[in-house]
Amino acid sequence: MTTTTMAPEKLTPGKGCDADRSLADLLIRTEMGTKSQVSHLPKRYMGLEATELDERIEAARKTLGDRLVILGHHYQRDEIIQYADLRGDSFKLAKAAAARPEAEFIVFCGVHFMAESTDILSAEHQTTILPNMSAGCSMADMASTEDVLQCWDDLQGVEGVAGKVMPATYMNSTAALKAFCGINGGLVCTSSNAQAVIRWALDRREKVLFFPDQHLGRNTARKMGYSVDDTLVWDPFQPLGGNSEDDLRRATFILWKGHCSVHKRFTVEQVRQARERHPGINVMVHPECTMEVVDEADYDGSTEQIIKSVSEAPPGSKWAIGTEINLVNRLAHEHPDKLVYCLDPVICPCATMYRIHPAYLAWVLEGLVEGNVVNQIKVDDEVAHWARVALERMLATT
Ligand code: SF4
């Protein structure tokens, strides 16, 4: 992961590190350190300068017109967001694609699981494309289908637990795991609706198996009035997840041992320092942060809730934000009348979101102009059916 150093209010490039420069001026072969990271990109795109990429992307967009919609996740860099027809979090974007039926091609600038959800929720005639197929999510990768199926089998083998567990997955998971939830009576949640989803689950069964993010699961349980003692962590590398049968019988929340490498970096100390430096500051963090950080902050909320809070705050207000740096810097730029900065002085952008470079966007768009679909995301029909069931259950709860 690329790290850089920043002062509280202002980016200051770290010595020898290019991650906080405007990446539009970096050739992709310079930016991606290893050959394997650009292995699928045709060589002719590797030496293109930012201005040429920009002209070619705009020309392709113009040619494709309404046949194309480009979706940009909030965590994408500005050099990509500038081309997005729609901006949002993963769920908002997945739904947005369905609302643009005239668009034959949906180019999703985000990570793999998001493009899968878009394919699942979009119409039959729409094609979803992820510009760089290596743009995954390290949190989603922490819950493999095989490990979750093994966990499920183990739980069904424990007396007093079997038949009492509802599976619930965060949006940040593969389509196969969403389908697993659909098949087993469970559902999907986002960071905005996790409480409503878990309430729905606990109205129907005594326990919830929540994956892949233990922190969102724990923070949600606490907000619902449960204590940490009502939760336990399932470590897929340990027999019975590292728990005794009695532990499993006692717990209401079985939380998968997964986390977001970006949000886990925020600390209680950073929150305290923000308050010391800027008395009266509002500290808002994402619920993928640890419980201790969420407890210390003034507010926690999803990406969309963070944007809304800062946007609606009065001029002159001060905000220290605990979420991905591209979003925080954009908020700071869009609200010059407020102080907005990232809690973490050592910036660490989401490394996989970062893999969408304008060179990849140019490649896939020019392919479409020439009649070639590259990097299509196509979820198997059976998987898509059951994943849709889990997503629709979520929609019915909120
Ligand atoms: S910010 Fe975290 S959860 Fe989001 S895509 Fe990156 S690694 Fe995954």
pLDDT at residue 40, as a whole number: 86
Q: Which residue's CA is minimally distant from atom 6 of ligand 1?
A: 350
From the CA of 260, give the closest atom in ligand 1.
2
pLDDT at residue 95, as a whole number: 80
pLDDT at residue 97, as a whole number: 76
From the CA of 351, give the closest atom in ligand 1.
6
Strands 165-170 and 207-211: parallel
Mutate to test the pocket of ligand 1, among 2, 260, 344 (most ligand atoms within 8 A of CB): 260
Task: Show the low-confidence residues of the chain (pLDDT under 50).
Answer: 1-24
Q: Which residue's CA is minimally distant from atom 1 of ligand 1?
A: 350
Q: Which residue's CA is minimally distant from atom 3 of ligand 1?
A: 260
pLDDT at residue 27, as a whole number: 63
pLDDT at residue 2, as a whole number: 33
Tokens of 247: 């532990």
Compute, in angstroms, the gap from residue 169 CA to the centroid of ligand 1: 15
pLDDT at residue 38, as a whole number: 59
Compute, in angstroms, the gap from residue 386 CA to the centroid of ligand 1: 24
Compute, in angstroms, the gap from residue 142 CA to the centroid of ligand 1: 11
pLDDT at residue 37, as a whole number: 55
Compute, in angstroms, the gap from residue 350 CA to the centroid of ligand 1: 6
Residues in the chain: 398
Mutate to test the pocket of ligand 1, among 116, 214, 256, 261 (most ligand atoms within 8 A of CB): 261
Q: What is the pTM of this model?
A: 0.89
For 134-168, the pLDDT digits (tens) are 999 999 999 999 999 999 999 999 999 999 999 99
From the CA of 172, give the closest atom in ligand 1.
3
Q: Which residue's CA is minimally distant from atom 2 of ligand 1?
A: 260
For 140-261, which CATH superfamily applies?
NadA-like (3.40.50.10800)
From the CA of 350, give the closest atom in ligand 1.
6
Pocket of ligand 1 (CB under 6 A): 75, 111, 137-139, 172, 260-262, 324, 350, 352-353
From the CA of 138, give the closest atom in ligand 1.
7
For 263-347, which CATH superfamily applies?
NadA-like (3.40.50.10800)
CB 380 within 8 A of CB 116: no
Compute, in angstroms, the gap from residue 352 CA to the centroid of ligand 1: 8
From the CA of 110, give the closest atom in ligand 1.
5
Compute, in angstroms, the gap from residue 89 CA to the centroid of ligand 1: 11
Compute, in angstroms, the gap from residue 211 CA to the centroid of ligand 1: 14
What is d(CA 357, CA 376) in angstroms, rounded to the nearest whole number? 17
Q: Do domains 19-136+352-379 and 263-347 have the same CATH topology?
A: yes
Compute, in angstroms, the gap from residue 325 CA to the centroid of ligand 1: 12
Q: Where are the domains of the chain?
A: 19-136+352-379, 140-261, 263-347
Q: Which residue's CA is minimally distant from atom 8 of ligand 1?
A: 137
Compute, in angstroms, the gap from residue 65 CA to the centroid of ligand 1: 31
Fold of 19-136+352-379: Rossmann fold (3.40.50)
From the CA of 288, give the closest atom in ligand 1.
3
Compute, in angstroms, the gap from residue 32 CA to the centroid of ligand 1: 19
From the CA of 137, give the closest atom in ligand 1.
8
